[in-house]
Amino acid sequence: MRKLGLLLSRCAAAWKSVRMASSGMARRAPLTNKVALVTASTDGIGFAIARRLAQDGAHVVISSRKQQNVDRAVATLKGEGLSVTGTVCHVGKAEDRERLVATVLNINVKATALMTTAVVPEMEKRGGGSVVIVASVAAFVPFPALGPYNVSKTALLGLTKNLAIELAPRNIRVNCLAPGLIKTNFSRVLWMDKEREESIKETIRIRRIGTPEDCAGIVSFMCSEDASYITGETVVVAGGIPSRL
Amino acid sequence: MRKLGLLLSRCAAAWKSVRMASSGMARRAPLTNKVALVTASTDGIGFAIARRLAQDGAHVVISSRKQQNVDRAVATLKGEGLSVTGTVCHVGKAEDRERLVATVLNINVKATALMTTAVVPEMEKRGGGSVVIVASVAAFVPFPALGPYNVSKTALLGLTKNLAIELAPRNIRVNCLAPGLIKTNFSRVLWMDKEREESIKETIRIRRIGTPEDCAGIVSFMCSEDASYITGETVVVAGGIPSRL
Amino acid sequence: MRKLGLLLSRCAAAWKSVRMASSGMARRAPLTNKVALVTASTDGIGFAIARRLAQDGAHVVISSRKQQNVDRAVATLKGEGLSVTGTVCHVGKAEDRERLVATVLNINVKATALMTTAVVPEMEKRGGGSVVIVASVAAFVPFPALGPYNVSKTALLGLTKNLAIELAPRNIRVNCLAPGLIKTNFSRVLWMDKEREESIKETIRIRRIGTPEDCAGIVSFMCSEDASYITGETVVVAGGIPSRL
Amino acid sequence: MRKLGLLLSRCAAAWKSVRMASSGMARRAPLTNKVALVTASTDGIGFAIARRLAQDGAHVVISSRKQQNVDRAVATLKGEGLSVTGTVCHVGKAEDRERLVATVLNINVKATALMTTAVVPEMEKRGGGSVVIVASVAAFVPFPALGPYNVSKTALLGLTKNLAIELAPRNIRVNCLAPGLIKTNFSRVLWMDKEREESIKETIRIRRIGTPEDCAGIVSFMCSEDASYITGETVVVAGGIPSRL
- Beta-ladder partners of B131: B174
Residue B81's CB is within 10 A of a number of other CB atoms, namely: 10
Average pLDDT score over residue span A67-73: 96
Domain boundary among D46, D68, D90: D90
Q: Is residue A207 pLDDT above 50, yes or no?
A: yes
For residue A11, report the phi and psi dihedrals to the nearest 5 degrees: -60, -45
Please tell me the predicted confidence (pLDDT) of residue C108: 81
Decide if pLDDT at A93 tops 60: no
Active-site residue identified among B47, B140, B149, B221: B149
Sheet holding D84-88, edge to edge: D35-38, D59-64, D84-88
Answer whether D163's CB lies under 8 Å from D131's CB: yes
What ipTM score was computed for the predicted complex, to two decimals? 0.91
Both D144 and D46 in one domain: the answer is no
Residue A195: count of CB within 10 angstroms of its CB: 7
Q: Are residues A147 and A65 in the same domain?
A: no
Among residues B39, B73, B90, the one where a domain terminates is B90
In a domain, C110, yes or no: yes
Q: What local confidence, expressed as pLDDT, does residue A237 receive?
A: 98
Which chains border D (3 or more CB–CB pairs < 8 Å)? Answer: A, B, C
- Please tell me whether residues A122 and A199 are part of one structural domain: yes
Q: In chain A, what residues touch B112 (CB-CB under 8 Å)? A: none
Put simply, whether C135 touches A (Cβ < 8 Å) is no
Among chain A residues, the shortest Cα distance to C142 is held by A162
- CB–CB contact D139 A244 (8 Å): no
| Contact residues for D76 (Cβ-Cβ < 8 A; gap 6+) | none
Partners of A144 on chain C (C-beta within 8 Å) are: 165
Banded pLDDT at A76 (limits 50, 70, 90): very high
Q: Provide mean pLDDT across the span B204-222.
A: 96
For the residues A118-143, what does the mean pLDDT come to? 95
Residues C121 and C65 in one domain: no
Residues of A in contact with D153 (CB under 8 A): none
pLDDT (mean) for D54-81: 95
Q: Which chain C residue is nearest to residue D157, measuring alpha carbons?
A: C245
Query: What is the torsional sign of CA B44, B45, B48, B49?
Result: negative
Dihedral-angle region of residue A131 (phi above 0 means left; psi in -120 to 50 means alpha; beta otherwise): beta
* In a domain? residue C163: yes
Pairing of strands A26-28, B26-28: antiparallel
B104 and B54 in one domain? no
B contact test, residue of D103, D141, D151, D152 with most B CBs within 10 A = D151
D184/D117 Cα distance (integer angstroms): 28
- Please check the confidence at residue A92 and state whether its pLDDT lies above 60: no
Closest CA–CA distance from residue C193 to any residue of chain D (Å): 22
One domain, residues C110 and C205: yes
Provide, as residue numbers in chain B, all residues whose Cβ is less than 8 Å from the Cβ of A175: none
Q: Is residue B19 part of a domain?
A: no
Nearest CA in chain D to B139: D158
Q: Domain holding C37: CATH number?
A: 3.40.50.720
- Nearest-by-CA chain C residue for B157: C245
Closest by Cβ to A162, choosing from C106, C147, C165: C147
Chain A residues within an 8 Å CB radius of D1 = 102-103
Strand partners, D235: D177
Residue type present at position B17? S
β-bridge partners, A237 = A179
Q: How far is CA B53 from CA A220, A228, B46, B236, C219, in A?
A: 18, 18, 11, 19, 51
φ, ψ of residue B128 to 5 degrees: the values are 140, 180
pLDDT at site B9: 63
Taking CA atoms, what residue in D is nearest to C226? D217
Which run of H or of E encompasses C5?
helix C2-17
Mutation site, B103, B104, B157, B162, interface D, largest D CB count within 10 A:
B162
- Residues B86 and B126 grouped into a single domain: no
Residue B14 belongs to some domain of the structure: no
Question: Is residue C6 a part of any domain in this protein?
Answer: no
Identify which has the larger pLDDT, A21 or D192: D192
D contact test, residue of C37, C132, C156, C229 with most D CBs within 10 A:
C229
Provide the domain limits for residue A45: 29-90
CB-based contact, D5 to chain C, within 8 Å? yes
DSSP A21: P
**Of the partner residues B26, B87, B214, the one whose CB lies closest to the CB of residue A14:** B87
Q: How far is CA D32 from the centre of its chain?
A: 19
One domain for residues A145 and A43: no
D145 touches chain A (CB under 8 A): no
Query: If pLDDT is split at 50, 70 and 90, which confidence band does B101 have?
Result: very low
A233 contacts chain C (CB < 8 A): no
In a domain, A70, yes or no: yes
The share of chain A scoring above pLDDT 70, in percent, equals 86
pLDDT tens for B119-155 read 999 999 999 999 999 999 999 999 998 999 999 999 9
C160 contacts in chain B (CB < 8 Å): none
Residues of chain A contacting C153 with CB distance shorter than 8 Å: 158
Judge whether B60 lies within some domain.
Answer: yes
Tell me the pairing of strands D84-88 and D59-64.
Answer: parallel
Over the stretch D200-245, which tens digit does the pLDDT of each residue have? 998 899 999 999 999 999 999 999 999 999 999 999 999 999 999 9
- Which one of A75, A90, A105 terminates a domain? A90
Residue D129 has pLDDT above 70, yes or no: yes
Q: How far apart are CA B141 and CA B58, in angstroms?
A: 34
User: In terms of Cα–Cα distance, which of C162, C141, C158 is closest to C236?
Assistant: C141
Q: How do beta strands D26-28 and C26-28 pair? A: antiparallel
pLDDT in tens, D166-187: 999 999 999 999 999 999 988 8
**CB-based contact A89:B14 (threshold 8 Å):** yes
The answer on pLDDT for B241 being more than 60 is yes
Higher-pLDDT residue of A10, B232:
B232
Instruction: Report how many Cβ contacts below 8 Å link chain B to chain D.
Output: 68
C39 — alpha (psi -120 to 50), left (phi > 0) or beta? beta
Task: Report the length, in residues, of chain D.
Answer: 245
Domain identity same for A178 and A212: yes
According to DSSP, the residues that pair with B235 across neighbouring strands are: B177
Reply yes or no on whether the pLDDT at D164 is more than 50: yes
Q: What is the pLDDT of residues D48-65, one digit of tens each?
A: 999 999 999 999 999 998
Residues of A in contact with B89 (CB under 8 A): 7-8, 10-11, 14
Chains that touch B (3 or more CB pairs under 8 A): A, C, D
Give yes or no for a contact between A237 and A229, defined as CB atoms under 8 angstroms apart. no
Between positions 106 and 125 of C, the ones with CB within 8 A of D are: 110-111, 114-115, 117-119, 122
Phi, psi at C235, each rounded to 5°:
-110, 130
Q: Taking CB atoms and an 8 Å cutoff, what residues of chain D touch C39?
A: 11
- Cβ-nearest to A161 among C109, C142, C166: C142
Closest chain B C-alpha to C244 CA, distance in angstroms: 6
**Sequence-distant (≥ 6) Cβ neighbours of residue D41 within 8 angstroms:** D47, D49, D50, D60, D62, D63, D64, D73
Does the beta-carbon distance from D5 to C118 stay under 8 Å?
A: yes
Average pLDDT, chain A: 87
Query: Which residues of chain C are within 8 Å of residue A157 when distances are taken between CB atoms?
Result: 154
- CA distance to A152, A158, A216, B175, per residue, from A137 (Å): 12, 14, 16, 16
Cross-chain CB nearest to C245 (options A110, A159, A245): A245
Q: Do A24 and A194 contact (CB within 8 A), yes or no? A: no
Q: Quick one: C81 and C112 in the same domain? A: no
Catalytic entry in A47, A140, A149, A221: A149
B244 in contact with C, Cβ within 8 Å: yes
User: Where residue D42 falls among pLDDT bands split at 50, 70, 90?
Assistant: very high
| CA closest to A144 among chain D residues | D205
Q: Are residues B79 and B134 in the same domain?
A: no
Q: Are C231 and D206 in contact (CB under 8 A)?
A: yes
Report the SS3 class of residue C105.
helix
Strand partners, D129: D172
Nearest by CB: D245 against C10, C157, C217: C157
3-state secondary structure of C142: coil
- Nearest to residue D79, comparing CAs of D68, D87, D71? D71
Given D120, D142, D149, D243, the catalytic residue: D149
| pLDDT for A4 beyond 70 | no
Q: Given this model, what pLDDT does residue D115 score? A: 87
In the three-class reduction of DSSP (H, G, I as helix; E, B as strand; rest coil), residue B115 is classed as: helix
Number of structural domains, chain D? 2
Answer whether B89 sits within 8 Å of A9, measured CB to CB. no
Q: What is the Cα–Cα distance from D130 to C236, expressed in whole angstroms?
A: 16
In a domain, B39, yes or no: yes
- Does one domain contain both A166 and A81? no
CB nearest to B140's CB, from C103, C154, C245: C245
Confirm whether D149 is a catalytic residue. yes
pLDDT tens for chain C, residues 1 to 245: 445 545 666 677 777 777 554 454 666 789 998 999 999 999 999 999 999 999 999 999 999 989 999 999 999 999 999 999 999 976 554 444 444 444 677 778 888 888 898 899 999 999 999 999 999 999 999 999 899 999 999 999 999 999 999 999 999 999 999 999 999 988 888 898 899 999 899 889 999 999 999 999 999 999 999 999 999 999 999 999 999 99
Check if A80 contacts B (Cβ < 8 Å).
Answer: no
State the SS3 of A132-201: EEECCHHHCCCCCCCHHHHHHHHHHHHHHHHHHHHHHHHCEEEEEEEECCECCHHHHHHHCCHHHHHHHH
Residue contact A15–B205, C-beta within 8 A? no
Give chain D's mean pLDDT.
Answer: 87
Q: Is the pLDDT assigned to residue B188 strictly greater than 50?
A: yes
In one-letter notation, the amino acid at residue A224 is S
Contacts of D235 (CB under 8 A, 6+ apart): C230, C233, C235, D175, D176, D177, D178, D218, D222
Q: In Å, how far are A204, B231, D135 from A243, measured between CA atoms?
A: 11, 11, 19
